[in-house]
Structure 1
Amino acid sequence: MDIQIQGQLVQVLPLSSGVGKTSGKEWKKQEYVLETPDQFPRKIHFSVWGDRIDPSYQVGDQVTIWVDVESREFNGRWYTDVKAWRMERGLVAPQAPQMQPEATPASAPSFAAQQPTMPAQPATGWASNSDSGDDLPF
């Protein structure tokens, strides 16, 4: 799932780098904290990996990021990563989510078919007994 988030960079953390234990390849990671422009602003910690790192981003920059969110379990605890795969300066017009329709088996229930419908006229009962002469609900 791709998520688009807009806001202002409020923190640029130090660049991390190292060598993978199993692969022996070098890696680098840049982490940022972004604050959303909502009525109740949220701070979001995210990372950019490898060649996608652009060292010219600074605190105060208005950015739009596209991220993948993934969680993993380690020793009974869950950790969530927010990894940006694209980052642009400025606020970009939001895009509608690009959801691919999934093939559903014929036996799978259709949620659209299960939408409740409201009757055009109120049901007969205590709320609509104004013409019965009494106001008792039974």
Structure 2
Amino acid sequence: MEVQGKIKLVGNTETVGNNGFRKRDIVVTTEEQYPQHISIQFVQDKCDLLNAYQPGQDVKISINLRGREWVSPQGETKYFNSIQGWRIEALQPAAAQGSVPPPVPPADAFEPATNFSDDQKEDDLPF
């Protein structure tokens, strides 16, 4: 799956627990009729992928949906979901991708087509 939008926030890398588990969050705002602020978590060595990105950039992030079950000490079962990123790439504006046609030269760059001789003006049809 993929999420596409503009980076709103890039969090700092956090180390959790005694085993050195690393995580880093990024928030992307989608560009649709009702924009959504999607928090995506990168973990372990994928945290470093976010170093090259900053708020305001348009990106596309490849994600996996993760779910887990947790049983409290009282025996109550709860379920948690997370969105985990594994790849991120910058999106270029449309103008930078070559979709804009080249500029038209000014009118004075063209020679006028009014230099016909008199006999060409009378009979310029091939029949």
User: TM-score scaled to structure 1, two decimals?
Assistant: 0.55
What root-mean-square deviation, in Å, do the aligned CA atoms of Structure 1 and Structure 2 show? 1.7
* Aligned residue pairs, count: 85
1:7-29 CA-partner distances (Å, limit 9, x unpaired):
01111222111455xxx4x3321
2:78 partner letter: R
1:13 aligns with 2:17: no
> Secondary structure, in 3 states, of the residue corresponding to 1:51?
helix
Q: Which structure has the greater CA radius of gyration?
A: 2
Shift of 1:50: 2.0
In the alignment, which residue of structure 2 is the partner of 1:68?
Answer: 64
User: TM-score scaled to structure 2, two decimals?
Assistant: 0.60
1:49 partner letter: V
2:29 partner letter: E
Distance 2:90 2:46 in 1: 14
Unmatched tracts of structure 2, length 5 or more:
72-76, 93-127
Distance 1:8 1:29 in 2: 21
1:37 aligns with 2:7: no
In the alignment, which residue of structure 2 is the partner of 1:104?
Answer: none
Q: Which is richer in helix? A: 2
Aligned residue runs from structure 1 range 1-138, under 5 A: 3-18=1-16, 20=18, 24=19, 26-53=20-47, 54=49, 55-75=51-71, 76-90=77-91
